[in-house]
């Protein structure tokens, strides 16, 4: 799994509740677009981000924790500006207290 442009996320499409992220071709899959929703990001930070394992997942994207974390952080930053109340609501459902 690799994320095409780490410095400029340049999402394919984005709305108030979703972001379409273009993923580059890797050893397992051809290049593709994956939809990440508010709930996916909230679940990542509630369950995956504290993991000490080398692999993590976000919305069905599996890979090295560093690449997955870059995608999750970029999408979170987008939601914080596009729909801060929505992402706060989703994180609270999972027992997190947002600091933004």
pLDDT at 6: 44
Q: What is the pLDDT along the chain (100 residues), one digit of tens a residue?
A: 444 444 445 799 999 999 999 998 887 888 999 999 999 999 999 999 887 778 899 999 998 899 999 999 999 999 999 999 999 999 999 999 999 8
Q: Which of 88, 67, 66 is nearest to 76 (CA)?
A: 88
Q: Could you tell me if 41 and 14 are in contact, meaning their C-beta atoms sit under 8 angstroms apart?
A: no
Q: Could you tell me if 95 and 43 are in contact, meaning their C-beta atoms sit under 8 angstroms apart?
A: no
54: helix, strand or coil: coil
Q: Which of 99, 97, 100, 88 is nearest to 41 (CA)?
A: 88
Q: What is the pTM of this model?
A: 0.85
Count CA within 13 A, CB hemisphere, residue 97.
0
Domain boundary assignment for the chain = 2-93
Q: In terms of C-beta density within 10 A (0-12 exposed, 13-18 middle, 19 or more buried), how is residue 49 classed? A: middle
């Amino acid at each position: 799994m690799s994320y095409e442009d780490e410095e400029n996320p340049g999402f394919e499409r984005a709305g108030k509740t979703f972001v379409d992220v273009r993923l580059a071709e890797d050893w397992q899959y051809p290049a593709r677009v994956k939809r990440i929703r508010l709930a996916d990001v909230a679940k990542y930070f509630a369950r995956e981000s504290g993991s000490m394992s080398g692999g993590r997942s976000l919305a069905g994207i599996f890979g090295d924790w560093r690449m997955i974390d870059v995608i999750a952080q970029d999408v979170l930053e987008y939601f914080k500006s596009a729909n801060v109340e929505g992402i706060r609501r989703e994180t609270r459902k999972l027992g997190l207290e947002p600091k933004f």
